[in-house]
Amino acid sequence: MALLVGSVLVDTLLSHGRLDELTNMRIPNPNGPEIRAYVARPSAPGPHPTVIMIHEFWGLKPEILGKADALAQEGYIVVAPDLFRGITTSWIPRAIFNVISNPPAQVDGDLDAVYRWAASQPDVQADRIALMGFCFGGGTSIRYAVTNPSVAATVVFYGTPVTDPERLKGLGGPVLGIFGGADASIPIGIVNAFQDGLKAAGVLHQITVYDSQPHAFVEAIRRGGAPGQAWDEFVYFLEQTLKRASNGSSLPGYVRRIALDCVVPGKPEDALHVVNHLHAWLPNR
């Protein structure tokens, strides 16, 4: 035990300088110390739809920056905050300690500061800010989004989801969930409960399970296969929810219910297609 504690302390000391190389922005935080973040912007002038990208339990790492840069090339501002207040690691025991030592209330408070900062930026479309994350970040995204109905869309990459329909009714936009069929961390029963909860709450959603894929399978997004397909599905979802004239949240409740009921299993893109067609059709009727 002493060796483990000592190793964690050493890793903590070594990690403090890492964020200097990984971040390019300091965000004011009324809930605590300022938040370090990496911000990637498109080359074209704004304002742009924006995505807050939340890291895994490792903390902010170069892999997240690479995904942020890739998404910026698609026309989005991407804000990738450090929600572990200076700690990043490649060591599993330290990563677990990251989660334990940064309680949800603190993380959500910091994330709220990031969201409000992003919404105040002149090159950000304040009504088109989405949250997404991987692993720890996926669970954090949905947990925060149910408390902030201004979030335009939420994406969960294999994170522990909120399944209570009453809490999910707090969502203000559609949800994409991407999971691995062989993920021992997020059993298929939890995924099904998430989907059932979203439908019961009347939230537009698409849930995709990639067969035989383990936890954290979306790493090398440019190599094709399941990781590339999942990333492409994510980008398509953003196009439908952030770049279209409406994400469906302004539709009457009964129309949203029609869209949910029309989804064909195995075709997760259909829900948003239905919404877009209905939204174009209704004003003329």
Q: Which residues are catalytic?
A: 135, 183, 215
CA separation for the pair 151, 149 (Å, rounded): 5
CA separation for the pair 43, 34 (Å, rounded): 27
C-alpha distances (whole Å) from 242 to each of 146, 169, 170, 188 are 18, 20, 19, 29
CA angle 130, 20, 52 (to 5 degrees): 0
Contacts of residue 159, Cβ cutoff 8 Å, sequence gap at least 6? 133, 134, 135, 136, 137, 138, 139, 140, 141, 142, 186
CA separation for the pair 136, 230 (Å, rounded): 18
CA separation for the pair 97, 158 (Å, rounded): 20
Contacts of residue 117, Cβ cutoff 8 Å, sequence gap at least 6? 27, 28
Q: Return phi, psi of residue 158, to 5°.
A: 40, 50
| DSSP E strand stretches across the chain | 25-27, 35-40, 48-54, 77-81, 124-134, 153-157, 175-180, 205-210
CA separation for the pair 97, 101 (Å, rounded): 6
CA separation for the pair 101, 104 (Å, rounded): 10
Residue 37 · residue 82 · CB < 8 Å:
yes
